[in-house]
Chain A
Amino acid sequence: MNDMSRHFDVDTIRRQFPILDQKVHGKDLVFLDSAASAQKPRAVIDAMVHAMETQYANVHRGLHWMSERTTDAYEAARDAVQGLLNAADRSEIVFTGNSTAAINLLAHSYGRAILRPGQAVLISAMEHHANIVPWQMLRDATGIELRVADITDAGELDFADFEARLADGRVGLVAITHMSNVLGTYTPVERIVRTAHAHGARVMLDGSQAVVHRTVDVQALDCDFYVFTGHKLYGPTGIGVLYGKRELLDAMPPFMGGGDMIASVSFERSTWAPVPHKFEAGTPAIIEGIGLKAAVDWVRGIGFDAIAAHEATLTEHALARLANVEGVSVVGRAQDRGGVVSFTLDQAHAHDVATLLDRQGIAVRAGQHCAEPLMRRLGLDSTARASFGIYTTTQEIDFLADTLVRVSEFFK
C-alpha cells in the first residue's frame, strides 16, 4: 500500500481511467466535475464486467454455487467499506442506493421512531438538498423542529451559533456535512461530535464529498451515523452507504419492507432480519456492490495520504492561479478546505462561463449545486465550480485559468 503512495504519479493514475482519453468537441477532456460524480478506473470497470461475465446470480437466496459465490463477492464489499470507515463491525454497514437514500432511511426510521415530538434536528446552512429535504419532510410529518446552524462569511461553520442551537438540549440529531460540495470547506467534525454529544444529541455526518479525499475513522470520530455515495468515490452509481453504531441500528425499525429484510413472514406478522439486512429490502445492487469494493480497494491501494497531498497541491495551485484572473472571485475561504472551488466571473454568468469552457473540453458545473439555501446565504444566484479528483493535473488547472482569461475577454 505504501509503496504506491510513495510513488504517486498522476500519469500512471490517469492511464487507469479509460474515459480520460476521450475528446470533447475535438479537444482533450479536462474533467473538473468530480464532485458531482467521479470517473471510474479500469479496476472498477473490470470487476463489474468480470462479475457479470463469470459469477452472477441473486444473493442471499440460492443454495447453488453461483449464488453462493455472488453472495461472497457482494458481502466482501461490506468488509471493504468496514475497513474504509474503520467501523467496529461489518453489520454496521448498510447498503443503500446513494447518500440521498441513506439520509432518507435515517429520517424515516430514526426520525420517526427514535426522535420524539418536541425534539429537533440540527443541520447547517451549507447542506446539499439531500441533507435538507428529508428532514423538512420529517418535520412536516411529525412536528419535529428543524434548526439551521449558520455559516460565517468565510464559508465555515459558525461554531458559536452551532453550539447555541444545541444549548436547550432539545436537539436529538445533528445532521451535517463533513465537506461542502460548493465551498470545499471541511467541517470540524471531531469538535462537532464532542459538542453534540455533550448536549445529548446524536450525529450523522454527510460524507459524500469528504470520504473521497480523507481518511475517515468513524470510531475515532465517534459519530453515530456516516453516509456516503459510491459514485463519487470512483465507484459505480446505484450504491451508497449508511454506517450506524450497532446499538442504534438495532433499535431502529426497518424503513422498507420486502424480501431479504425479514426473518420470517406470515400474514399475521413478520419478524425482521438482523442488521444490516433489516434495512436492505429487495435484491440489492449486486454488481454495484462488487464495483464499490473494487473502488474502495483501489483508492486505499493508493492511500489517502498520497491522495490528500496531491489534492492539496492542486487546490493551492488553483486558488493561486484563479486569484490572478481578473474578474474571478472564489467563493469561500475556509482554512480547512479541499479540492472544490466555486467561483464567479464579473463579466459573465456561470452558465455562459460553463458553456465556453465546455467548448474547450473543460467540464465544470454551473448553477446552484443542489444547495439553494447556501447560495441565498452567500447572496449568489449561481457559481461555476471546478472540482478535482485523483486524476486532475496542475496543467489542467493552468488550462482552466488561461481559458478563463479568454472567457472574460469574450464577454467584455
Chain B
Amino acid sequence: MFDDVRDLYQDVILKHGRRPEHMRRLASFDATAKGDNPMCGDRVQVWVKYGADDTIAETGFEARGCAISIAAGDLMTEAVQGLNRGEVGRLFADFGDMVRTGTCPDCMGLERLKPLSGVHEYPSRVKCATLPWHALIAALDDKQEASSE
C-alpha cells in the first residue's frame, strides 16, 4: 500500500527513526542548544563535546518528533563526528540543498545522509530534517536556542 513513500521512508530512516543510536544526553558536554518548531510541535536538544582542535568528539541528542526528524538527528550525529564549526556549516548547507532539491552536486561527506534526500518531495517535511541541524549549529555558536528558519 505504501510503496510510493519508500523514497521518503527508506529502511535506514525507519531504522534510525525507530531506534536512534545517539539519542541521549551527554553526561559531560561543552555546548548544548534546543530547537523548536512550534508549527508542528517538534522539539530537539543537542549536546556536543569537543575533542582536539575544536573538532566534534561526540554528539548526543534528544528529540520529540516524527521519524524524519529523529532519523535526521541520529544520522547527523554520525556525520559531524570529527568536524569543526566551519566544516559542519558547509555540510549543513549541502545537506539543506539536498533535502530541498533531492540532489547534491558534490555530495562529499553526504553519503550517510543521502537516505534523507527523499524529503524533497515533501516540502512540508523539510524542516523536520533540518531542525536537529539548526540546534547543532546554535550549540556550536554558543547559543541556547536555534533561531527558526
Contact = CB atoms under 8 A, between A and B. Distances in A.
A199 interface: no
Among A349, A356, A368, A375, chain B packs the most CB atoms within 10 A around the CB of A349
Contact of A381 (B1, B2, B42): B42
Interface string B35-48: 00011111100000
Interface string A38-70: 000000000000000000000000000000000
Interface in B63-95: 64-68
B132 to A, nearest CB: 14
Interface string A18-52: 00000001000000000000000000000000000
Given A355-B8, A359-B2, A368 B68 contact: no
Nearest to A370: B39
A363 to B, nearest CB: 12
B5 A356 contact: yes
B61 interface: no
A347 to B, nearest CB: 9
A227 interface: no
A364 B86 CA distance: 41
Contact of A360 (B1, B14, B38): B1
9 closest cross-chain pairs (CB), A and B:
A349-B66, A351-B66, A382-B41, A381-B41, A367-B40, A368-B41, A352-B66, A381-B64, A352-B67
Interface of A: 25, 348-352, 355-356, 359-360, 366-368, 372, 375, 380-382, 403, 406-407, 410-411
26 contacts: A25-B4, A348-B67, A349-B66, A351-B40, A351-B42, A351-B65, A351-B66, A351-B125, A351-B128, A352-B9, A352-B67, A352-B68, A355-B8, A356-B2, A359-B5, A360-B1, A366-B40, A367-B39, A372-B41, A380-B41, A381-B41, A382-B40, A403-B1, A406-B1, A411-B18, A411-B67
